[in-house]
Amino acid sequence: MTEKIQKILSNLGYGSRRSIEKIIEKGNVFLNGKRAIVGQRVDKNNPGEIFIGNEKIIFKEHKKLEIIIYNKPIGEICTRNDPKKRLTVFDKLPFLNLSRWISIGRLDINTKGLLLFTNNGELANQLMHPRNKIEREYYIRVFGEININTINILKTGVKIKDGYVSFKSIELISKNKSKNKWFKGVLCEGKNREIRLIFRSIKCQVNKLIRIRYGNIFLPKNLKEGGWEKLNDKSLNDLCNLVK
C-alpha cells in the first residue's frame, strides 16, 4: 500500500502536510538519494531511505497516539526554531522518542492559554482545517466603546485582510463601567491575529487574550503557565471523534 510522502512524514510528526510540502518544494527532502517531489507515493511497508536535510527518518510501527495540553505564557512563540533565540512553546515539552510534537493551531506571542500538541500530523491537520469547524474559545479584554450594535456586527461579520470573519458567539462577561471590558468569544477558525484584527476593525483594542478551549478540551484550572499534561484516554478519544 502506498501513501503520499508528505502524509507519511506528517504522520511521523514532522509537521502538517502543508508545511512538509513547502520543505519538499525547497528540495530539502530526499528519497533513496534523490530529491522527492510533492505527491510522490511511497510504500508504507518498505519506504526506503528518507532524509529531511541531513536527518534520516526512522520509521516506527504502531506508534501510539499522544496528545498533550500546554498552558502557553505570554512571550513564547509557536515556532520550533527561532533565529532570534526567543523562547518557543516547544522548549518545555516532554521528550518524544522517534517522533516530534506538532502544535494543533497557534497562538501569537502576546496571547496565552491552551495549546494542544500531538505526535500525529494527520490528526493535527484535520483538527486545524476550516472545513471541520472546530471551536476555539477565548477570554478577551478589550479597550474601547462597545454596545449592542457593535456586538451584533461582531456576530454578523467584519472585513479584515483575509476576508469576512465573525464570532460564532460573543458575550460581555464584565459589568463594570471601565473602558476595559471582558468578553467570552468563540471562533471556528484560527487565522493569524484574527481576534485582534476583528476588534481593530470596530476601533477597539484587544489588550489581553487567553484561549480556554479547543474543540471539547478545556484549559485545566490547575495547570500552571508553562506546564503541560497528557490527555487521558477518554478526552483523547472525544477530541479525535470531532473529525471522524
35-59 pLDDT, tens digit each: 999 999 988 778 888 998 888 887 7
pTM above 0.75, yes or no: yes
What CATH number labels 67-131+217-242?
A: 3.30.2350.10
Residue 145 grid coordinates: 466603546
Domain 2-56 has CATH 3.10.290.10: yes
pLDDT digits (tens, 9 = 90+) for 174-184: 877 788 999 99
Range among 9-18, 142-151, 154-163 rated most confident: 142-151
Does position 61 have pLDDT exceeding 60, yes or no?
Answer: no
Domain ranges within the chain, ordered by starting residue: 2-56, 67-131+217-242, 135-214
Of the candidates 166, 209, 159, the residue with the CA atom closest to the CA atom of residue 184: 209
Spatial contact of 167 and 187, defined as CB atoms under 8 Å apart:
yes
Confidence bin at 90 (pLDDT 50/70/90):
very high
Residues taking part in catalysis: 108
Q: Under CATH, which architecture does the 135-214 domain have?
A: 2-Layer Sandwich (3.30)
| Alpha-carbon Rg for the chain in angstroms | 20
